[in-house]
Amino acid sequence: MTGVAVIDYGMGNLRSVAKALEHVAGSARVEVTSSAERIMQADRIVFPGQGAARDCMAELQRLGLDKVVKEAVRSKPFLGICMGLQVLLDASEENDGVQGLGIFPGRVRRFPAQMREAQTGDMLKIPHMGWNQVHQTIAHPLWQGIAQDSRFYFVHSYYVDPTDSAQIAATAQYGVEFVCAMAHRNVFAAQFHPEKSHHAGLALLSNFVRWDGNV
């Protein structure tokens, strides 16, 4: 198989992700699959997800896909989206504590209670839901052609807190400054949903399907 494999472990808006990838993939094939063999035959891997961390990890382990993800991040251009970023870290505060895949060192933390908008003083709701500016902190092939502080779409109550600041690819502001994208070698992962982020999101996905994994 050549093309892009979207990992199907029963969580996440897979159709939306696949359709957005198909829109930018040209002749490359996009396949949604839970087959370890098909995933590892693909040129590029997309790991989407939404929902609760405990459910995500349980399904990955039940299907044996936790091992597939760990192998894929060692060998292929890899894009994590939303929960597909969070479970790459060591652990999450969600569900009274959940062990992650340990690919990025660090933890996933809940937004603080009683946050207020800096300019107006208005109380901020959790989850953080809607459009927000993304501030790129490193040059990366997936940022090519995307203007600094472009707006992307978010839906989340937890955010990543990485140990290694060199792996931070972007930040955003919501009551606090938080990391919204991470990158290391052939892996790029984002808290926002590029498949729901119109022109900037499609640009990022287009960059990904042409990326060879080198930075």
Residue 171 neighbours by CB under 8 Å, 6+ apart: 134, 135, 137, 177, 178, 179, 180
Residue 187: enclosing H or E segment and its boundaries? strand 187-190
Burial readout 122-156 (b: 16 or more C-beta within 10 A, e: otherwise): eebebebeeebebebbeebbbbeebeeebbbbbeb
Q: What number of residues does the chain have?
A: 215
**pLDDT higher than 70, residue 2:** no
> pLDDT of 77-132, one tens digit each?
999 999 999 999 999 999 999 999 999 999 999 999 999 988 888 999 999 999 99
Active site residues: 82, 193, 195
What lies within 8 Å, CB to CB, of 177 at 6+ separation is 171
Would you say the pTM of this structure is higher than 0.75? yes
pLDDT in tens, 165-175: 999 999 999 99
Give the DSSP H/E element, type plus range, for residue 169.
strand 168-174
- What is the rounded CA–CA span in Å between residue 203 and residue 207? 6
Which CATH number is associated with domain 4-93+107-209? 3.40.50.880
